[in-house]
Amino acid sequence: MKRWHRISLIAVGLLLTVALISPLLIPIPPLEDTLPPGQLADPDSQFIQVNSLSVHYKTLGAGESTLLLLHGFAASTFSWRQVMAPLSEMGRVVAFDRPAFGLTERPLPAPWPGDWESERANPYTTAGQVALTVGLMDELGIERAILVGNSAGGAVAMQTALNHPERVETLILVDPAVYAQGSRAAWIRFLSNTPHMRRVGPLIVRRIQDWGVDFARSAWHDPSQITPEIWEGYLKPLRAQNWDRALWELTRSARPSDLPERLDELTMDCLIVTGDDDRIVPTDQSIRLASELPNAELVVIPSCGHVPHEECPDQFLRAVTEFLKGRAE
């Protein structure tokens, strides 16, 4: 029996060894048909160096006020296409691609200076994205801005206002992800940072080309409005070099947020805009947020989903225009 016991232990040990080593030996096929982000640029695309990162942005209008637009998860400047021109009638409008999305540069860990968790070394953390937002304002000569953030971009906008209140005039939060964003269990965060998952993680996120379709459709109240041209706009950033590795870095960089505990510090005027059929950030969460912020107005757009600036642009623009005009009076 002892002999079979030893053989069983050896067999289990070999199986564990194979399980631990094999992910490190799996060949990772390179992405095909990818291009440097600059080669995917639109005629109105612009690029600027911010904190050693090439940031893609678009801008319209001029004036004393600046509206800085921060898109949500798996989106880009493309998501603001229907509202940028109308918003530019109220001042300068700047939309930019947050790290891991759009045509902004996707740096990988190896060349980054300093500590992995430092805000300038890792642009995929919330702290790094706040630093990038303020750095972009510095490079563009924007002293203060109205931050307009959708979903995860709304959370970044709020964190920017907490860290740099002197730079934020007001907040316009579009279905903001506040109460659940970044709240992964500790063991999941640990697993995602193992050498095994850091290697195969990009293979996992490549499946966005499959599940991303359902995710995008669930963001609209009426997904039949998503035309082939809109699909092409959503998918174009998936042709940029290293999009898969960058999206994995963003995923594993997620951390629990303290936003719900700090809402009373956001004392500036805020506008919350949500659709009444938001299946990504439930509408009730936006209603709750408006009740917990000190000075917030709430607009719920009927028959609209998670991206009212795309699906219901007229109602969205009406809400924003009335809010900003009301503040100016």
Query: For the segment 296-317, what is each residue's pLDDT rounded down to a tens digit?
Result: 999 999 999 999 999 999 999 9
In the structure encoding, which two tokens stand for residue 295, read together? 């000075």
H or E element, residue 285: helix 283-292
CATH class of the structural domain 37-328: alpha beta
Strand, coil or helix: what is 327? helix
Strand, coil or helix: what is 87? helix
Tell me: pLDDT of 201 over 80: no
Residues 6+ apart with CB under 8 A from 327: 170, 269
Q: Say how far apart CA 216 and CA 319 lie, in whole Å.
A: 24
Q: Say how far apart CA 133 and CA 155 lie, in whole Å.
A: 12
Average pLDDT over residues 206-234: 85
Q: Say how far apart CA 16 and CA 120 lie, in whole Å.
A: 38
Quick one: pLDDT at residue 317? 98
Q: Say how far apart CA 43 and CA 72 lie, in whole Å.
A: 23
93 beta partners: 60, 67
Other CB atoms within a 10 A radius of the CB of residue 119 amount to: 18
Average pLDDT over residues 209-226: 84
